[in-house]
Structure 1
Amino acid sequence: METRLDIRLEEPNPLFKRWLQRWLDEAEQRNRKSQHRLRQALQALHNYPLPLYSGRECAVLRGFGATLCQLIDDELRQHTHLAGQTTAVDSVQYQEQVQQVVKVVQKQQRQQQQHLKQQPRRKKITKKAQQEQAAVEERERAVGMPAGSYRIVLLVDTQETSGKNKRVLDQTHHYLQSLAVEHQVRRLTVGDFVWIACDAAGNELVLPYIVERKRMDDLASSIRDGRFHEQKHRLSQCGLPHIIYLIEDYGDNEQLGLPLDSLQQALVNARIQSAGIQVVRSDNHYRSMCYLSGVSGALQQLYVQANVSLHSVSDKSQLKGQAQTEASRCPSVGLLKFRALYEDSARNAQLTVREVFVQQLLQLHSLSLDRALAIVERYGTPRLLLDAYADCKDVTEASLLLATLSCGPLQRPLGDKLSQCIHQFYTSEFQ
């Protein structure tokens, strides 16, 4: 690391200063008008930190006119002739003084570096690193809520209260207030409704129930663009064992974009093929809020009135398989922190190659989550699948490579049609 030196001599121009002082004294004794200009020039020369080697160079300073500069040059020539020296003497003396200062500074720097090497180096922690460290410590901090020290609150996603159309007022908040359901509106990264247990210290634990509300027309739209399978996958990965799809009728369920039978079949498949998913139908929005109110009351009985203690768990795998009746049987129930659920379920969270591969497959028509998981279980990445295609003898064998792959709880084969579709998708060249 280079160090910039700012070297200033106490008297960079002693010769010129002495001459100016002599001329100023003579002008003051004779009361000449030039004394004011000489005094100004002397002050400017005193403040100038660098050496000057001629009267011409002094012209940059205040008070030095052409006459004064010429006088300095004449005096300088006479002085050089008498002394037998050149004006380079001042320059050499200045350079010698600079070298002496540089040597002193370099010696001090070497001593300082040796002193720093002897001490252990401490890495400076940035503000971002401090925040990340604090977040990790907060997530790892154990939380305990004794019986009677917490209350249950329903969290509502912000999209559930804003509404897609500004002209249409979403009645979610109004309905929950009229039903006396304690709730808060927050940004949720997964699901539309969750329940949390809050204590006086501000700790929040998520009860193992999550609700995804869909109107029939929204369900049809999500099936067409692939969001339905992607949402099911994210819900199943969030760690909460009890997943509820709350499906609202859309008028007479006409003009939905898909046949009603197809939508009902998709709901049946979600209930049968995906473990832990429960499908609940309601007539309208108000009935949906009544259902949520009923669930809130049931959770009050299951946890608060049953005097169940709660504690935090760091691994969401500890929640899998937790039965609904466990809360009343166990003196203490382990739950995820709300912050952990929020961060782990965020859409912008770092996904593994395996998770991205699953989401890729879910975009294909008729490819369910169980089928996608079965493919990824056999071939963990797209690269492995392409290598398997390359090892086949011909195109026919490659297109039927996945046809006999067992999928889902019933272990049904994937089928020739889907196998050919996947092969075409991953081997075709797009231009």
Structure 2
Amino acid sequence: MPNNSVTRLKIQLQEPNPLFTRWLERWLREAEQRNHKSQHKLKQALQALHSYPLPLYSGRECAVLRGFGSTLCQLIDDELRQHKMMASHVMASDTTERYQQQVQQVVEAVQQQQATEAASINKKPKKLTKKAQQEMAAAEERERFVHMDAGSFEIFLLVDTQETSGKNKRVLDQTRSYLQSLVVQHEVRRLTVGDFLWIARDAAGNELVLPYIVERKRMDDLASSIRDGRFHEQKHRLRQCGIPHVIYLIEDYGDNQHVGLPLDSLEQALVNTRIHCGFHVVRTDNHYRSMSYLAGVTRTLVLLYGAKFLHSVDKQSLHPICPSDARVGLLKFRALYEDSARNAQLTVREVFVQQLLQIHSLSLERALAIVERYPTPRLLLDAYAVCETAAEGRRLLASIPCGPLQRPLGEQLSQCIYEFYTNEFN
């Protein structure tokens, strides 16, 4: 009689989770070496893992076992992720050489086919977008050499748009009206530096900038710009623009008694501008006198440059102009406009100067002297870190010579800068 009894076979893997076991054993050894309290949890988890008969595929699945908390499960998931990445790299490295050979063969075949097609078919060039065409034309215009023969150009006064846009639109534009009455050839356009400058323009539309630029300020505007820091920032940008002769045209505001700052402070600021910056400061009684001065300068420039040969140069090639020179190198207007734009790319050194100018009583000359010694904020902070005491750090900049007279910066400003760059603000 046949035996119909069925025998149930029990199959159990000898080590269902060898990776997890190896990782737990390694973490347990490290915890025991450091005598870390996590070793007890790891022993408990390792024992539970040995007793579990089925394979586990993630740290999350291990959460059903005793001793596996959320931290340990996350560690296993992280380790598993790295293991899979390493495994994929190993598999890829085994076939890399053969794959590269196949790819190289395909590339050579495609290149040979493209060379054959290029030789037989005259492909039409891809049509550029309007923006790309404008950018290409602008780049070519900047690179193109411009030459103007004597008498082949006219000289115009350019007026910044902010000088002609009054707050009240019903009020007559005095700037333009005065210039028209004084018979001054002028144009109104946006300038990225200064309020007035002069250009020479030939029949082809090429424009070269004469080496004079004017920043006009009424006394109340001067006081306002000193208070909010614009005064130092504007002087810095004027010095960097490349035009050698900078004129500050200062216009009185009544009796200059109610302008926001004491008159002595304003006078001192103008003296510093003349001596330290080397700018030419001109004082006028009112707006009409200011426009009359610009009309006189325009006529003088027509006489000085009308019979000269002008040509374009870059900013680095500019050199002082002698009145007897027959040939004069000048900047292109487009180059000046783009390089002086507020959104132009600034160097770390220039940003550092502008940052220092925001500190009260720190003039442009003093800021430049500091940046000459420490060109970046990182270098200044490193110098502060070397100081053994805070008192030494506060005196670090005190002896730096500033301006033409080489006067020291002083302990008060040195301490102010130290506090500004070392204090943490919450």
Taking structure 1 as the reference length, the TM-score comes to 0.70
CA gap of 1:359–1:181, structure 2 versus 1, over 3 A, is: same
- Counterpart of 1:152 in structure 2 is 155
Establish whether residue 354 from structure 1 lines up as the match of residue 357 from structure 2.
no
How far apart are the structure 2 equivalents of 1:320 and 1:240?
Answer: 10
Give the one of 226, 243, 260 matched to 2:246.
243
How do residues 67-86 of structure 1 correspond to structure 2 at under 5 angstroms? none
Q: Which has the larger radius of gyration?
A: 1
Aligned position for 1:83 = none
Contact 1:239/1:320, CA 8 A, preserved across alignment: no
Q: 1:126 to 1:378 in 2, by over 3 A?
A: farther
2:317 maps to which residue? 318
Counterpart for residue 97 of structure 2:
none
Amino acid of the residue matched to residue 394 of structure 1? T
Query: Within the alignment, does 1:369 sit opposite 2:364 as a pair?
Result: yes
SS at match of 1:349: coil
What is the aligned partner in structure 2 of residue 184 from structure 1? 187
* Aligned-partner SS, 2:266: helix
| Structure 2 counterpart of 1:407, one-letter code | C
Q: Which structure 2 residues correspond to residues 14-413 of structure 1 after superposition, within 5 A? A: 115-116=113-114, 127=129, 128-166=131-169, 168-275=171-278, 277-304=279-306, 307-314=307-314, 316-322=315-321, 326-327=322-323, 329-413=324-408
CA 1:142 to 1:264, structure 2 compared with 1: closer, same or farther past 3 Å?
same
Give the whole-Å Cα distance in 1 for the aligned partners of 2:211 and 2:110. 60
Are residues 396 and 145 of structure 1, via their aligned partners in 2, closer, same or farther at CA, if it must alter by over 3 Å? same
Partner AA of 1:134 in structure 2: A
Cα deviation 1:374-415 (Å, max 9, x = unaligned)? 111111110110010000001000011000001111111000
Distance of 1:394 and 1:280 partners within structure 2 = 48
Summarize deviations over 1:42-80 as a string: whole Å, max 9, x none: xxxxxxxxxxxxxxxxxxxxxxxxxxxxxxxxxxxxxxx
1:113 to 1:333, Cα distance in 2 relative to 1, 3 A: closer
Code of the aligned partner of 2:308: V
Rate the CA distance shift 1:377–1:310 in 2: closer, same or farther, 3 A.
same
DSSP 3-state at the match of 1:409: coil
Distance in 1 of aligned mates of 2:138 and 2:117: 31
Deviation at 1:318, TM superposition (A): 3.1
> What whole-Å deviation, never above 9, does each CA across 1:216-237 have from its counterpart, x for those lacking one?
0000000000000000000000
Distance 2:139 2:287 in 1: 39
Whole-Å Cα distance in 2 between the matches of residues 395 and 202 of structure 1?
61
CA RMSD of superposed structures (Å): 2.3
Report the TM-score when normalising by structure 2: 0.70
Q: State how far apart, in whole Å, the 2-side matches of 1:422 and 1:126 are.
A: 52
Residue 147 of structure 1 aligns to a residue in which SS? coil
Identity %: 73
Report deviation, 1:153.
0.3
- Kept in 2: contact 1:209–1:244 (CA 8 A): yes
How far apart in 1 are the matches of 2:348 and 2:163? Answer: 32
Structure 1: segments with no counterpart, 5+ residues: 1-109
1:404 alignment partner, SS class: coil
- Give the superposition deviation at 1:138: 1.1
CA distance in 1, matches of 2:319, 2:360: 30
1-structure distance, mates of 2:145, 2:251: 39
Deviation per residue, 1:109-163 (Å, 9 max, x gap): x98786238778x997964555433322211111000001011000000010112
The letter for the 2-side match of 1:406 is P
Q: 1:406 to 1:302 in 2, by over 3 A?
A: same
The offset of 1:311, in angstroms, is 0.6
Q: CA deviation at 1:164?
A: 3.3
1:320 shift after superposition: 4.5
Q: Note if contact 1:142-1:312 (Cα within 8 Å) is conserved in structure 2.
A: yes
Task: Report the AA paired with residue 294 of structure 1.
Answer: G
Cα distance in 2 between the residues matched to 1:270 and 1:112: 67
1:430 aligns with 2:425: yes
Q: Spell out, residue by residue over 1:247-271, the C-alpha distance to the aligned partner (whole angstroms, 9 max, x if none).
A: 0000111211100000010000000
CA deviations over 1:164-202 (Å, ceiling 9, x no partner): 344543300000000000000000000000000011010
Matched residue count: 315
State how far apart, in whole Å, the 1-side matches of 2:170 and 2:227 are: 26
SS of alignment partner, residue 247 of structure 2: strand
CA contact (8 A) 1:358 1:376 kept: yes
SS in 1 for 2:164: helix
Q: Give the Cα–Cα distance (whole angstroms) in 2 for the partners of residues 119 and 390 of structure 1.
A: 65
CA distance in 1, matches of 2:111, 2:308: 62
Per the TM alignment, residue 330 of structure 1 is displaced from its structure 2 partner at its CA by: 1.1
Conserved 8 A contact 1:240-1:320 = no
Aligned CA distance change for structure 1 residues 320 and 331 (closer, same or farther; 3 Å): closer
Q: Counterpart of 2:113 in structure 1: which amino acid?
A: H
* Unmatched tracts of structure 2, length 5 or more: 1-107
CA distance in 1, matches of 2:209, 2:137: 21
Matches of 2:140 and 2:210 in 1, distance apart?
Answer: 22
